[in-house]
Structure 1
Amino acid sequence: MDFHPQPQGGLPKPWAFPAPDRGRLGNGLTVLRCHRPGQQVVAVEVSLPAPLDAEPDGLDGVATIMARALSEGTDKYDAEEFADELERCGASLDAYADHPAVRVSLEVPASRLTKALGLLADALRAPAFPESEIERLVGNRLDEIPHELANPARRAAKELAKELYPAASRMSRPRQGTEETVSRIDVAAVRAFYDAHVRPATATAVVVGDLDGVDLDTALAETLGTWTGSTAQPRPAPPITADDTGRVVIVDRPGAVQTQLLLGRIGPDRHDRVWPAQVLGTYCLGGTLTSRLDRVLREEKGYTYGVRAFGQVLRSTPEGTGAALLAVSGSVATDVTGPALADLWQVLRTLAADGLTDDERDVAVQNLVGVAPLRYETAAAVADTLADQVEQHLPDEFQGELYARLAQTGTVEATAAAVNAFPADRLVTILVGDADQIADSVRELGIGEVKVVAGG
C-alpha cells in the first residue's frame, strides 16, 4: 500500500510586530492606524487619560461607572436603540477604567467600520448618562463586590494593594470602588468626571485591521473628528511608592481547604533597560508549567496545580518613570501551606547561587518570542498592545524592539534580573486561608511579621 508523503513543516516566515502610522485629526485626537491584510474584523481602541487617581475623594469607582455608561445611550439613541444599532453593525463595544486611563474598545467587520465609528463617536461625544441607567450600573457594581470578596485570588489582590501602597494612594484601594464609595455615585458625579477628563485633544484612537477599500481618513473625519472638547492637559500622575518590607498577612477564611498565595513588590517598568531581562527571568521562574517554581512545587512536591510569577505594569509618566507589580501567585492545599511556602522561598533564596540554565533561558525565549506571531494573529491583540504603549508613554516601535532584545538577552542577565526582582527579604506575602491551621507553620518560616485579618 502506498501512502501519501507525510507533510513537512516549512521554513518560518519573517515576522515583526507591526509598526503603526501616526497622525492627528483636526480636533486634536491622535490616531494610530495599522493595516493588517486579511483581518476583516477591525479593532479600535480609544485611550482616554481619565486615571483612577483623578477620581474625587469618596467617589472611588466613578471612572468605572462612567466607562460602563458610555454605551447606555447618546443624544441620538436611548440605551436599547444604541445596542440595536451596534448589533446591526455586527459590532461589540466595551469599556473599562484602570489606573492609567479609561479604555473603550470596538470590534466590527471592516465593511461596517464607518457606521460603527459613528456610534463610537456618539458615545464619546455626547453620552446621555440617563439617571435610570446610572442607578442600574451602580446597583450592578454593588452586587459584584461581595462576589469579588468571596474570590480568594481577588481578595488576595485587594489585601496586597492595601498593604503595599500608602493609605492615601488611590492604588491602595479597589480599582472599581468599595460598597461605601460606589453607593455615593450618581448622575452628577458621572457627568462631572466625564466633563473634567474626556476630550479628544488628550485621547488616542488605535485602528487595526484590513483597511483595503476603506477610506479611513474620511471615515475618521466624519465620525471621531466631530468630537469636540477642551484642550486642557491631562492630570499629572503622582509617583508610585510602596513599602515592600518582608511581612505576611493572613486573610482568615475559617474552613478553607486551600490557601491562596500572593507575594508581591514593585519594581522597574518598561522604561527601564532591565525590562527585557526581567521579563525573561520572571518567565523562567514562573511563567509556564515548565518553569522552576512549577517544577518544584507542582511536579516534585505535588503541592499545587500551578504557581505563576509575573510583572504587571502599573502606571508610567511622560517623563519615562513608573513601576510594575512583580508578583508570584498560586494556591496550595491548606495542610501543606507551610512546606509549600518553605520550598518557594528556597527557590528564591538559591536562585542567585544556582542560576538559571541555558535550557531554561532558551525555552523562555522560544515561548515569548517564537509564539509572538500567534499571540498577535487578531487585530484586537495588536490594537490592545499599541494602546498599552500609548498609556505607558512608550514609542510606537517598543514592542517590536522588545522581541529583538529578548532574543539577545543572555542567561546571566536573566538570572540577575530575576534575583533583583524577587528578593526573598523584600516581598509582602498575602495568604487567604484558614488562619488557625496555617498561622503557626508560617511563623516558623521566619519570613517576616505575621498578621491575621478578617476575611470579609
Structure 2
Amino acid sequence: MKLFKPLALCLALALIGCASEAPQPSLPSGVTYLGSNPAPQAEITIPYEKFQLENGLTVVLHQDRSDPLVHLDVTYHVGSAREELGKSGFAHFFEHMMFQGSQHVADEQHFQLVTESGGTLNGTTNSDRTNYFETVPANQLEKMLWLEADRMGFLLPAVTEQAFEVQRATVKNERGQRVDNQPYGRLNELVHQALYPQGHPYSWPVIGWMEELDNGSVDDLRAFFARWYGPNNATLTIGGDFDRQQVLEWVVKYFGPIPRGPAVEQAPKAPAQLSEDRYLTLEDKVHLPLIYLSFPTVYARHQDEAALDLLADILGGGQTSIFYKNLVKAGLAVQAGVSHPCRELSCEFTLYALANPAKMPKLADIETVIRQSIAEFEQRGVTEEDLLKAQVGHEAGTIFGLQSVRGKVTSLAYNQTFFGEPDLLQTDLERYRNVSADDVMRVFNTYLKGQHAVIMSVVPPGQTGLAAANPTFTAPEPIDPATLAHAQKVVPAVIQDTFDRSQVPPAGPAPQLKVPGLWTRTLGNGIEVVGTQSLETPTTEILIALEGGQRLTPANQAGLARLTAAMMDESTDSMTTEQMAQELEKLGSSISISASGYRTYVNVSTLTQNLDATLALLQERLFKPAFRPEDFERVKVQQLQGLQHQANDPAWLASTAWSQLLFGVDNPMGQPLSGTLETVSALTLEQVKGFYQQQFRGGNASVVAVSDIDERTLMSKLDWLANWQGQAAQWPKLVRMPSTKGPVIYLMDKPGAAQSVIKIGRRGLPFDALGEYFKAGLMNYPLGGAFNSRINLNLREDKGYTYGARSGFSGGPELGSFVAGASVRSDVTAESVKEFLGEMTGFAENGMTRQELDFMRASVTQSDALKFETPGQKARFLGKLQRYNLPDNFVAQQGALINTISLNELNQLARKELDLSRMIILVVGDKTTIEAPLIALGYEVKPLTL
C-alpha cells in the first residue's frame, strides 16, 4: 500500500530543517557518541543524536527551532512491574516523592521554579516505566537539567518520615478520586488479578494495593529508589530550540558525577496464559451494566502485534465495524469497542460493551451477541477496505502525533527505553503496511478464535442476576505482611562536585516570542475566516464556530443542542452513517460536531493531501443531514442512558447542581449540556430539525484555519462557504438568576461516597482580555491558580486531604463565575471547607505578598512561549482573537499590564472578589457521615437534590 508515501516524504522534507547538526568531532569529556539520523533517509523520521555518559545515562537530543521552547523528559525503566510481591505501589509513590524536593531543592521548589519559568511539568507511571518531564521557554533549559539531576542523584536526603506520610495520604486521595469514587474504577485491577497469576508483574495495579502501601516503610521506599533510579537505568531526552554543544556540557556538569546504580537486566516476556474462561462479577454504583472480555496475546513489538492492532480496529474500531453494527447500531449497547493494549511483557485483546438496560440488560445476552459478532467476522473475513482504513488510520495518527516537540520527544524516549533505538517511525510504518488480510485472519485464529478469556461483569448493587455468568474466579488472599522482610537502611552515595549545586542556575536571555502571523478574509455573506500557516506537519485544522449552542434553547429543552450535534454525526441525504464514517476512515480524517453553552463547533482535522475530499464530506454533513427517525431514536436513547450513567458520578452531580445554584433551573445556562432525563425524554425529532435551522446558519458562523498550505490556496478550497445563507440567530433574554448570598452550605447526599466534592463560589465577571476579569485571574494565581498556590499547598501537600485543590475565574461572552473546589477524603470534608474559607479570607484581608506578585509575573508572562506550538494551539488562539474581536497584539498588551499592575490594585480586587458574604458552598458526599461536622462549622446547611 503506497497511499501515504508522498505524504511521508513531504513530512521528512518539512522536518529536515529542524534536524540535528552533524556529529562534531569534539565532545565534552565523558560523553560517548552512539549515533544519529541527522538527515532523513526514510519517508518519515524524527532527527536525533544519541550519546552516553560514563555512568550509563543515555542522552537523546532532537533539535527543533520552530518555537522558542524545549521539552525535557527523563524516563526511568522502572514501573510497577519491577516491584516485589507484597510491596506494590512504590513506583507510583515515587512519582509523588520526586516532586517533594531533594538535597539542594526545597520542598515545593521544583513546582515553583518550573511554574515561574512559564513552564509546565508532570510525571507519569505505568507498569513498565516512570517518566518526569517539563516544557519550558528555551532559556530555562539549564535550570531544568539542574532540577532533574538533583532528584536523580540527591533525592534520598529528602525522603523523610514526614514527607512519606504526607505523600502516602495523597496517593490514597488519588485512588479515592480516580478509582474508588469512579464508576467502573476497579475494573482493570480486578481483570488483571484474574488474567495473571499472583506474583506476575502485571497482577497488581500501578497505584498499588493501599494495604501494602500502608505496610511499607521509609526504608523500603529508599531501597527501591537506590535499586532502580540510577543513571544507567534512565534515558534523558531533550527536544526543541537549544545549542547542542552547550546542552552536552550542561548534561555532563549536572548528571556526570552521579554514580551508576546496580545493573539492570531486561525483564523476561510474560504473556498471560489461561486454561479456561474466568468469570468475575463486580457490584458497583453504576446504571449501565458492563461486560469486558480480555484475551491474552503477545507483547510489545512481537511480530504479531501489528496484525492484532489492525484486527482490533477492524472488528470494533468505529461506526463501520461489526461490533458497532451488532451492538450500538442495534440499540443493544450504549457504547462498545475493541482494542489491543500492549505493554513490555504482555498484551491483551479486549472487547467491551455498555449494555442498554432498556433493551438488553442481561450481560449473558450481550456476551452471546459479542461471540456471534466474532463468528460473523470469521465468516466474512477481512476486506480490502477493512485493511486500508485500519492502516491509513495508524499512519495518520502517527503524523498527527508529531505536531509538538513533546510528541516527538515522547516517541524518542519510549523507543529508546524499551527497544534501544529512538526513532522507529519508519520501521513501524512498514510493520503496519506489510500486514496482509491473511495475517489478520491468522492472528484471529491464533489468539481469539476458541481461546479463553477473562470475562468481567460490572452490575448495579444487588443486581448480580444481570452478570454474564456466576463467578468462577476468586482473587488470591493478600500477602501476609509478617512474611515480608523490610529493607535495610540505604546510605546515599557521596557525590563529588566541582561546583556549588545549591545555586539555582540563571535563566538565559529571554526568547523571542513567536505569535502566529495571521490573515483575515471576509466572505461575501459576512463569514470571517482567520488563518495562519504552520509548516511543521502536512496537516490542516479547520474550526467552524456557530454562535448559539445551548444559549438558544429554553431551559425545558436542555440537551437539544447536544442531541442535534450528535444527530449531525449520523446519516445524510445520500450517505448512511456507516458510509460517511468509512470514507473518513479511508482518508485518515475526522469531522466532529459538538455543542457547548454558547456555541456549536465543527472540527475538521485532515492530512492536507486529503483536504479536498474531506471538505466534500464536510459539505455533505453540514448541509444535507437526513435526520432519520431510526437514528434519532437510537441517539436519544444513548443520551438518556448516558444521563442515568452520569448520575452515579459525584463530579457530574456537583457540576450540575452548581450550575443550577448559580444560574437557576429556569435558565439554559443553569442546566447541564446533556440535559436532564425529563428534558431529553420530551425532545422530538421536529425540535432537532428546528434547532438545526436556527443554529446552522451562515450568519452564526466564523472560521479558523491552520494549514501547511498558503492563504490563497487554502481560501480557494473554502470558497463554498460564501454560499452559506441565513441571518444570525437572536439570543433570548435570560430570566432572573437566584441570589448567591452566603455563606450557606448546600448538601447533596451521595450515599457511600469515598470522597466529597466541594465547590465554593458565586457568579462572576464575563470574559475580557485586558479588564477586570483578566486582572482577577492574575490576583487568583497565587491563591489557587498554580500547583504551588496557597490552597493546593495547604489541602494537598500540608494536610493530605485531597489529590488537588484549585480556585479560578471562568468567563464567557455574558456570564462568568468564581469557584474554589476539590474532591477530598470523606472523613475530612468539614475540615477541608474550613481550610478553603480560611485561605480565601486570609487572602482577601491581607492580599498577596511581593514575592507572590513576582512569581505571578514571571510565570504568566513567560508561559506565552508555550502557547502557539501546535496547530490546535494556534487555532484556539486565533479563535479567541476572532470571538472577542481582540487586537492582534493583545498578548503584548497583556504582558505590559502584568508587568505594571500594582500590588495595591490586585489586593483591592482580592477584597472585592473574595467576599464570602456573596458566596455559596456546595458539598456532594455521604450525608450520614459528613452532615454533623458541616453543621458544627456554624453555617446554615440546606439539603439539595437534582
Q: TM-score, normalised by structure 1?
A: 0.89
Give 1:323's aligned amino acid. L
1:85 to 576, 580, 583: 583
Counterpart for residue 806 of structure 2: 308
Report the secondary structure of 1:183's partner residue: helix
* Worse-matched range after superposition: 260-269 or 14-23: 14-23
Going from structure 1 to structure 2, the CA distance change for 1:239 and 1:391 (only over 3 Å counts) comes to farther
Using a 3 Å threshold, how does the CA distance of structure 1 residues 129 and 381 change in structure 2: closer, same or farther? farther
Name the SS of the counterpart of 2:605 in structure 1.
strand
In structure 1, what is the Cα distance between the partners aligned to 2:809 and 2:544? 24
For the pair 1:192 / 2:690, whether they are aligned, the reply is yes
SS in 1 for 2:818: strand
- Residues 393 and 171 (structure 1 numbering): CA distance in 2 closer, same or farther, change over 3 Å? farther
Kept after mapping to 1: 8 A contact 2:756/2:824: yes
Q: How far apart in 2 are the matches of 1:50 and 1:266?
A: 21
Aligned residue number for residue 269 of structure 2 = none
Residue 923 (structure 2) aligns with: 431
1:269 is aligned to 2:760: no
Read off the aligned partner of 1:297 and give its amino acid letter.
L
* Mean Cα deviation higher: 204-213 or 175-184: 204-213
Q: Which residue of the partner structure matches residue 183 of structure 1? A: 681
Partner of 1:452: 943
Amino acid at match of 2:547: P
Q: Is the 8 A contact 1:44 1:380 kept in 2?
A: no
Which sits farther off after the overlay, 405-414 or 298-307?
405-414
Question: Which among 558, 561, 564 is matched to residue 66 of structure 1?
Answer: 564
C-alpha spacing 1:298/1:232, structure 2 compared with 1 (3 Å): closer
Where does residue 793 of structure 2 map in the other structure?
295
Task: Give the whole-Å Cα distance in 1 for the aligned partners of 2:762 and 2:658.
Answer: 9
* Equivalent residue, structure 1, for 2:777: 279
Equivalent residue for 1:244?
Answer: 740
Amino acid at match of 2:834: A
Q: Paired residue for 1:37, among 497, 510, 535? A: 535
8 Å Cα contact 1:197-1:234 kept in structure 2: no
**Taking structure 1 as reference, are residues 344 and 233 closer, same or farther at Cα in structure 2, changes over 3 Å only?**
closer
Deviation at 1:217, TM superposition (A): 1.8
In structure 2, what is the Cα distance between the partners aligned to 1:124 and 1:397? 34
The one-letter code of the counterpart of 1:124 is L
What number of residue pairs does the alignment pair up? Answer: 446
What code does the residue aligned with 2:519 have?
A: D
Measure how far apart 1:440 and its partner are: 2.2
Alignment of 1:407-446 (within 5 A): 407-446=899-938
* CA deviation profile, 1:392-427 (whole Å, cap 9, x unmatched): 565555455334433443433333333433222221
CA displacement at 1:134 relative to structure 2: 1.9
Question: 2:782 touches 2:790 (CA, 8 Å); kept in 1?
Answer: yes
Question: CA, structure 1 residues 88+430, in 2 after alignment: closer, same or farther (shift >3 Å)?
Answer: same
Aligned partner (choices 827, 832, 856) of residue 340 of structure 1: 832
For the residue of structure 2 that corresponds to 1:425, the secondary structure is helix
CA positional deviation for 1:388: 4.2
Aligned-pair distance for 1:287? 1.7
**Shift of the alpha carbon at 1:27?**
3.4
In structure 2, C-alpha distance between the alignment counterparts of 1:49 and 1:244, rounded to whole Å: 28
Unaligned 5+ residue runs, structure 2?
Answer: 1-27, 32-244, 251-506
Give the AA of the match of 2:568: L
Q: Which residue in the other structure is 1:173 paired with?
A: 671
Deviation (angstroms), 1:237: 5.5
**CA distance 1:353–1:53, shift in 2 (3 Å):** closer
Distance in 2 between the 1:417 and 1:31 partners?
37
- String of CA shifts for 1:134-173, please: whole Å, max 9, x gaps: 2222111112112222111111111111112233211222
2:869 is matched with which residue?
A: 377
> CA 1:294–1:337 in 2, change beyond 3 Å: closer, same or farther?
same
Measure the CA separation in 1 of the matches of 2:757 and 2:840: 19
Could you say which structure has the larger radius of gyration?
Answer: 2
- Cα distance in 1 for residues equivalent to 2:510 and 2:706: 24
Contact 1:254 1:433 in 2 (8 A): yes
Contact 1:356-1:412 at 8 Å conserved across structures: no
* CA offsets 1:241-266 (integer angstroms, 9 cap, x no match): 45221121111122223211011211
- 1:143 corresponds to which residue? 641
> Aligned partners of 1:97, 1:240: CA distance in 2, in Å?
24
Displacement of 1:442 after TM fit? 1.6
- 2:490 paired residue number: none
**Which residue of structure 1 lines up, in the alignment, with residue 30 of structure 2?**
3
CA distance in 1, matches of 2:755, 2:928: 13
Distance 2:740 2:888 in 1: 33
Partner deviation per Cα, 1:323-374 (whole Å, 9 max, x = no partner): 3111111021122112221121111111133321233233333433322332
Residue identity opposite 1:435 in structure 2 = K
Aligned-partner Cα distance in 2 for 1:152–1:437: 16
Matches within 5 A, 1:11-30: 11-18=509-516, 20-30=518-528
**Quick one: distance in 2 between partners of 1:404 and 1:118?**
45
Measured in 2, the distance between the counterparts of 1:39 and 1:422 equals 45
**1:358 equivalent in alignment to 2:850:** yes
Identity, % of aligned positions: 27
Q: How far off is 1:292 after superposition?
A: 0.6
Residues 516 and 868, structure 2, Cα contact 8 Å, conserved in 1: no
Give, as a single letter, the amino acid of the residue that structure 2 aligns with 1:442: L
Deviation at 1:31, TM superposition (A): 1.1
Other-structure match for 1:254: 751
- Alignment check: 8 A CA contact 2:571 2:628 kept: yes
What is the CA–CA distance in structure 1 between the aligned matches of 2:774 and 2:560, rounded to whole Å? 35
Return the alpha-carbon distance in structure 2 between the equivalents of residues 206 and 302 of structure 1. 44
**CA distance 1:143–1:114, change in 2 (3 Å):** same
The answer as to whether partners of 2:868 and 2:877 remain within 8 angstroms in 1 is: no
What's the offset of the Cα at 1:307?
Answer: 0.5
Q: Name the CA shift for 1:399/1:45 in 2 (closer, same or farther; >3 Å).
A: farther
Q: Which residue of 1 aligns with 2:547?
A: 49
Deviation at 1:431, TM superposition (A): 0.3
**8 Å contact kept, 1:276–1:406:** no
Q: How well do the aligned residues superpose, as a CA RMSD in angstroms?
A: 2.6
Q: Say if 2:547 and 2:600, in contact at 8 Å, map to a contact too.
A: yes
- 2:610 matched to which residue of 1? 112
| Deviation string, structure 1 residues 276-334 (Cα, Å, up to 9, x no partner) | 32111222111222001012222222222210112222x32xxxxx2311111102112
**Helix, strand or coil for the counterpart of 1:327?**
strand
Shift in alpha-carbon separation, 1:385–1:265, aligned structure 2, 3 A: farther
Contact 1:294/1:306, CA 8 A, preserved across alignment = yes
Taking the aligned partners of 1:37 and 1:240, their CA distance within structure 2 comes to 49
**Deviating more after overlay: 237-246 vs 329-338:** 237-246
Q: What's 2:822 paired with?
A: 330
Does the 8 Å contact 1:117/1:224 carry over to 2?
no
In structure 1, stretches of 5+ residues that fail to align are 317-321
Q: Residues of 1 paired with 2:898 and 2:626: CA distance?
A: 46
Q: CA deviation at 1:206?
A: 0.7
Could you say which structure has the greater relative contact order, defined with CA pairs below 8 angstroms and 6 or more residues apart?
Answer: 1
Q: Deviations over 1:43-66 (max 9, x none)?
A: 211111233132256322111011
- Say whether the 8 Å CA contact 2:782–2:789 is kept in structure 1: yes
CA distance in structure 2 between the aligned counterparts of 1:445 and 1:267, rounded to whole angstroms: 26
Which of 721, 725, 731 does residue 229 from structure 1 map onto? 725
1:319 corresponds in structure 2 to none
For the 8 Å contact 1:121–1:224, the answer to whether it is kept is no
Any idea what SS the aligned residue of 2:918 has? Answer: coil
**Aligned counterparts of 1:67 and 1:397: Cα–Cα separation in 2:** 34
Q: CA contact under 8 A between 2:698 and 2:728: conserved in structure 1?
A: no
* Secondary structure in 2 matching 1:150: coil
Q: Residue 554 of structure 2 contacts residue 667 of structure 2 at CA under 8 Å; is this kept in 1?
A: no
